[in-house]
Amino acid sequence: MTIAAVIIGRNEGERLLACLASVRGTVDRIVYVDSGSTDGSVAAAKNAGAITLVLDPARPFTAARARSEGFETSQNEEPKPRYVQFIDGDCLLQPGWIDAAKQALDQDETLGIVTGWRSEIHRNASIYNALCDFEWHRPAGDILTCGGDMMVRSKAFEEVSGFDPTVIAAEDDEFCVRIRNRGWSIKRIPVEMTRHDAAMTRFPQWWRRGVRSGHGFAQVGAIHPGYFVKERQRVLVYGGILPLFAVLGLLFQPWILLPIGVLYVFSYFRTAYGLKQNGLRDLEPFSHAILITLSKFPNFQGILIFYGRRLRGLKMNIIEYK
């Protein structure tokens, strides 16, 4: 049985070299898909023995497009892989993952996707990295969606025609929704899968990531109206409506600022309490809650960008934070 790995990247530099090294020898075929790198990534991947695909810049670069075209390339040689492991170029594949994922898929023919645990390589380098690390930690078992690091059954991937190349963020959520709609299940097994290097050490990077997330909430919500409903509602209230009322109150009725402020404080402490209940200790629940509370503002910006693009018929170009 053949297993392929599809690695996607754009200017990942040393991270890509480490990624390729971690995958080498664990699968039968490695495909690297490059989205316009200028740092020598393509040459590095070729030197590492990967089948290398450079995306045509005439169409917008997206992770979804890279994964789908990488999958197609992985199927060009016989024997065609039954399973394909997707991994981002800023990640390290962990020893034992491929065998564990293969075993899970072998044992359950209804399983379309299997994923595992991801963690940050430099968790304590910044509060932003630490928050990412917390986001990756989710319980094992049957799940609705997962991130881009996943092993997919080729049959399931082909049934849904892969990722939607026009989705620039939360493309993995959108893909998983269609996988489940075709009757396939998705499972997270309690095995270390990848280690991720967010390399996020500055506030503007975190803000851009929040903008990208908001764009994903809106775009995927437009495709699947029942998905990201609560996320969009929270962003609309805390990132749009309340700030608007605060500005109007400042101009006409200053007293309204007090109840608005109380709502934000309540939201902050509720978030901090939830983080503490989910395992964060010491001051981390309170520092993380600050970012989560603030995130509604870049999220709202991302939603506005999506609808602005759609109304003007513009292409959905990627939003990068690195």
Give the residue-averaged pLDDT of 5-32. 96
CATH classification of the domain holding 120: 3.90.550.10
pLDDT score, position 310? 96
- Dihedral angle of Cα 112, 76, 56, 206, to the nearest 10 degrees: 30
**Residue located via tokens 């939360």:** 170
Last residue of a domain, one of 157, 174, 196: 196
pLDDT tens, position by position, 63-74: 999 999 999 999
What CA–CA distance (Å, rounded) separates 176 from 178? 5
Pairing mode, strands 29-34 and 51-54: parallel
pTM: 0.94
What CA–CA distance (Å, rounded) separates 113 from 146? 9
Residues 294 and 186 reside in one and the same domain: no
Last residue of a domain, one of 167, 196, 225: 196
Terminal CA-CA length for the chain: 37
Q: Is residue 317 in a domain?
A: no
Give the residue-averaged pLDDT of 296-318. 96
Give the residue-averaged pLDDT of 6-12. 96
Residues 61 and 188 reside in one and the same domain: yes
> Mapping DSSP to helix (H, G, I), strand (E, B) and coil, where does residue 150 land?
strand
Sign of CA dihedral 26, 28, 32, 33: negative
Q: Is the omega angle on the peptide bond into residue 79 within 30 degrees of 0, that is, cis?
A: yes
